Amino acid sequence: MSKMARKILKGLFNRISIVILLICVQVIYFVFAVWKLSLYSQYISWGMTLISVVVVLGIISHDENPSFKLAWCIAILAFPLFGGLFYLIVRKQTDNKAFRERLQSTAQLTPALTQSESVLRMLCQCSEDAAIQAKYLVSKAGFPVYDASGAVYLPLGEVFVEELITRLGSAEKFIFMEYFIIADGKMWNRILPILKQKAADGVDVRVMYDSMGSLFLNPDNYYKQLEEQGIKCVEFNRFRPTASSIQNNRDHRKICVIDGRYAFTGGINIGDEYINQLDRCGHWKDNSVMIIGDAVKSFTHMFLQLWNSCRGEADNRDYLSETLPKIENDGFIIPYADTPWDDEFVSMSVYMNMISRAKKYLYITTPYFIIGDEFITALELAAKSGVDVRVITPGVWDKKFVYITTCSYYERLIKAGIRVYQYTPGFIHAKTFICDDEIATVGTSNVDYRSMYLQYECGAWMFGCSCIKDIKEDILDIIEKSNEITYEQCRNTPLKIRVAQRLFQPFAPLM
């Protein structure tokens, strides 16, 4: 047997391929069974259709984002024979009680983060607008504002990986890494030997990666291989052969905490495309921030909560009470996290707060722009109120149907006075908001439904930090390299593309 044939057979019979096949078999069997039952009796057919109607009425009355409601209602009514029953089987499995209970119990065991009232008062004295945004994160999300902290902006994956490797090499107590994607390649092969050596030296090394995000990128049961090398590892939300929307609840965070002294977050995963060593979509433009000082505690807290929930343990070992050397104050920082298991949509609220409070300008970079009316209306209102609103999206797509849907919003945005750009050198993956030279957030949340409602996300909100100037300069440089989309270009979009945009847009919440 040739090498190519063996490779194809290995791909066909690995765990992931089998899981996908089993899910497809389940869906096909379900549709076939319902169809056969409907042929057996007209009453069964009417009953199935009635279930779909009742389910649609239930969705309409449910307290949920209207765009989600519309997408599900269209999908169910398009296939009334089995749509409602399929929704009940798949959608209702999202309430994973066991995991939710573990998350709540470990949240209680993990030492709570406390807010210094003096720091909050100082922020109030500096800026009432910033204080209002901070109070939301403190009171509703449970993440305090810090002053004895700083942030370093890392404008490219190439810059990020060098800084990360330097800090990993300095680790003496612990290394916590949590990434949506960890892919075998040049980047990971520079990091892994350091982790193995540190683990051998007695450093507590923990790695958590998302099962779906890292699909096909590593060998099966890769977490076991890392465990054998002394690295504690969790494969988050393992991809299983069940037709369930629980599979949508991915860990999209990117966090690395080293000794409680340094924390990294942003859009950069562990993969060669993020450092432009693998050409997927032209030049890959991404970013990250390195947080130093007291604010690192919040990232340690985020990691431990999810780690303990996955492992069913509460092993904190006083990592949250590490005594850190005092650093010169560099503005105010709030690291924040977002989970799909509560009704507090933190990422959306952070972005909406920035939109509503911007006075001079608001610049946004995002790889995807697939969002509901309330978000777009807020942007339109800001632009109509005289705020210079600019949105930068990729010029080269990684997912064609998502790109087409993103472009479908351009005409409406431009009509309201919002300037829209496409990053022509390639793919912009950075998720950044900045306004008025004062406030910025860098994190993992895209401007799409998945990030806002379905996934685990995180970010760093910053006010008055010196790195905000660097963020603005970077975005202005991106704009210089980008192509501004005009209203005429939108109007001249080919008919077949416009039809596709109209068809895709109602289903945006399901993408």
Looking at residue 341, its pLDDT comes to 79
Q: Do domains 97-129+146-331 and 346-510 have the same CATH topology?
A: yes
Cα–Cα distance measured from residue 264 to residue 509, given in angstroms and rounded to the nearest whole number: 29
CATH architecture of 97-129+146-331: 2-Layer Sandwich (3.30)
pLDDT at 288: 98
Q: Provide the 10 A C-beta neighbour count for residue 134.
A: 26
CATH topology of domain 346-510: Endonuclease; Chain A (3.30.870)
Ramachandran angles phi, psi of 376, nearest 5°: -65, -40
pLDDT digits (tens), the chain, 511 positions:
454 444 444 444 455 555 556 556 556 655 666 566 666 666 667 777 788 888 888 887 777 777 777 777 877 877 777 777 777 766 655 445 666 666 666 666 556 688 989 999 999 999 999 999 999 999 988 899 999 899 999 999 999 999 999 999 999 999 999 999 999 999 999 999 999 999 999 999 999 999 988 888 888 889 999 999 999 999 998 876 555 556 778 999 999 999 999 999 999 999 999 999 999 899 999 999 999 999 999 999 999 989 988 887 766 667 877 667 777 778 999 999 999 877 789 999 999 999 999 999 999 999 999 988 899 999 999 999 999 999 999 999 888 888 899 999 999 999 999 999 999 999 999 999 999 999 999 999 999 988 998 899 999 999 999 999 999 999 999 999 999 999 999 999 899 888 888 888 777 776 6
DSSP H or E stretch at residue 174: strand 174-179
Q: How far apart are CA 53 and CA 149, in angstroms?
A: 55
CA angle, residues 216, 219, 222, in degrees to nearest 5: 115
Residue 214: C-alpha distances to residues 185, 299, 394, 498 (Å): 12, 22, 22, 33
Q: What's residue 5's pLDDT?
A: 46
pLDDT value of residue 438: 96
What is the DSSP annotation of 90-151? HHGGG--HHHHHHHHHHHHHSPPP---HHHHHHHHHH-HHHHHHHHHIIIII----BSSEEE
Residue 382: what pLDDT?
98
pTM (2 d.p.): 0.86
Instruction: Give the domain ranges of the chain.
Output: 3-94, 97-129+146-331, 346-510
Question: Measured between alpha carbons, how far apart are the two ends of the chain, in Å?
Answer: 40
